[in-house]
A = this chain, B = another copy of it.
Amino acid sequence: MAASLTFLLGIRYPIIQAPMVGVSTPELAAAVSNAGGLGSIGIGACDVPAARRMIEETRALTGQPFNVNLFCHRPAVADAAREAAWLQHLRPLFEEFGATPPAALAEIYTSFVVDEAMLALLLELRPAVASFHFGLPPTPWIAALREAGVVTLACATTPAEAARIEDAGVDAIVAQGAEAGGHRGVFEPEHGDACIGTLALVRLIAGGTRRPVIAAGGIMDGAGIAAAMALGAAGAQLGTAFVLSPESAANQAYRDALSGPRAQHTAITSAISGRPARGLINRMHSEVGVPGAPRAPDYPIAYDAGKALNAAASAAGSDQFAAQWAGQGAALARALPAAELIDVLVREWQQAGVP
């Protein structure tokens, strides 16, 4: 199982560092790839020039394969009334920090599914691996990436999404359990989120596909990797486990929160970005994304508001409105350099005694 994935990806260990836009860096991805895992960078929040820079920076730091992650959400539908209601909902919080909400909100990221220039960049630069989150790009694009020698991965939160990924010709499936930190990969969140736990999800998906399955969600150590492999996964993806690495872009407040008692409590909210995502519980969960709140604008329009509120709060010394994504295993995060963490994970995995 593991051999199928390591061969496919050209890596030594079937351990993937999750993309994590805002946290991952070329340094983190390269350190993981140089240590024998698969490092990832996320370009979902980049325009084409920034994506080019990030890929080239990573390439300058490693000759090993790495993964470039793309956001494949349905493009946002602007709705001035909904956005105004949301800003009104946030207004007292802005005022608490002596700020005013932005006058209007923008779709701050372009979805890859409509970004032909980004496809052209990938076909030009040909990273070893590209991964899709929130859905899938047009099927011909997946074929074009394959023809260019780019291995593709896509994230599934249900067996039905996994079947769509397999049908589209993607090479391997990331099974993202409900434990996972960051944005839920669910294709159509307006139809709900089954929140299937990693243990059940990997088993359900692995039994229904011949593609390699990569387990994600709550895996923090070699025991978790061993468990994933026992469930039939061919690899494991870890995100939160890498946030405290010195190579990550996490700021000090995020590191402090993840290293202390707040790491014991995570929850999923759509209030920060407009799409459900799991993070350390803060006032975005307890005061913004509450029952009776207006419906948040489409992702990523809501994120424009969330980032503005976080900027105002941060300027006043509060990290209570930050996106501090973390999975349910957060309390097990270790502050180790990425290469050392890979070594530890491999050793622990071997000690757990699973093939």
- Contact: A328 with B159, CB < 8 Å? no
| CB-CB under 8 A for A197 and B194, given A230-B227, A230-B354, A291-B291 | no
Q: Does A217 contact B (CB under 8 A)?
A: yes
Shortest A266–chain B CB gap in Å is 8
- Contact: A198 with B199, CB < 8 Å? yes
* Contact partners of A52 in chain B: CB under 8 A: none
Tell me the A264-282 residues at the B interface (CB within 8 Å): 264-267
* Contact partners of A355 in chain B: CB under 8 A: 353
* Contact partners of A224 in chain B: CB under 8 A: 199, 203, 231
Q: Does A249 contact B (CB under 8 A)?
A: no
How many Å lie between the Cα of A254 and that of B352 in the bound state?
38
* Contact partners of A203 in chain B: CB under 8 A: 218, 220-221, 223-224, 329, 332
- Contact: B223 with A197, CB < 8 Å? no
How many Å lie between the Cα of A232 and that of B217 in the bound state?
17
How many Å lie between the Cα of A329 and that of B159 in the bound state?
11
Which of B194, B231, B267, B328 is the one whose CB lies under 8 Å from A223? B231
Nearest chain B residue, comparing its CB with the CB of A330 = B200
Q: Does A122 contact B (CB under 8 A)?
A: no
A: which residues have CB within 8 A of B? 159-160, 177-179, 194-201, 203-204, 207, 217-221, 223-224, 226-232, 264-267, 291, 327-329, 331-332, 352-355
How many Å lie between the Cα of A354 and that of B197 in the bound state?
21
How many Å lie between the Cα of A232 and that of B197 in the bound state?
18
Q: How many copies of the polypeptide does the oligomer hold?
A: 2
Shortest A224–chain B CB gap in Å is 6
Which of B204, B231, B267, B331 is the one whose CB lies under 8 Å from A227? B231
- Contact: A159 with B264, CB < 8 Å? yes
How many Å lie between the Cα of A74 and that of B159 in the bound state?
38
How many Å lie between the Cα of A221 and that of B200 in the bound state?
10
* Contact partners of A231 in chain B: CB under 8 A: 223-224, 226-227
Q: Nearest 5 pairs between A and B by C-beta? A: A200-B218, A197-B197, A226-B230, A200-B328, A227-B227
Shortest A146–chain B CB gap in Å is 30
* Contact partners of A352 in chain B: CB under 8 A: 230, 354
Shortest A220–chain B CB gap in Å is 7
Q: A204-B332, A353-B355 are in contact. List 10 more A-B contacts (CB 8 A).
A: A160-B264, A179-B196, A179-B200, A196-B328, A197-B218, A199-B199, A203-B332, A223-B232, A226-B227, A291-B291
18 contacts between A and B (CB under 8 A): A160-B264, A177-B197, A178-B178, A179-B196, A179-B200, A194-B265, A195-B195, A196-B328, A199-B224, A199-B329, A200-B217, A201-B328, A203-B218, A203-B221, A203-B329, A203-B332, A353-B355, A354-B354
How many Å lie between the Cα of A328 and that of B200 in the bound state?
6
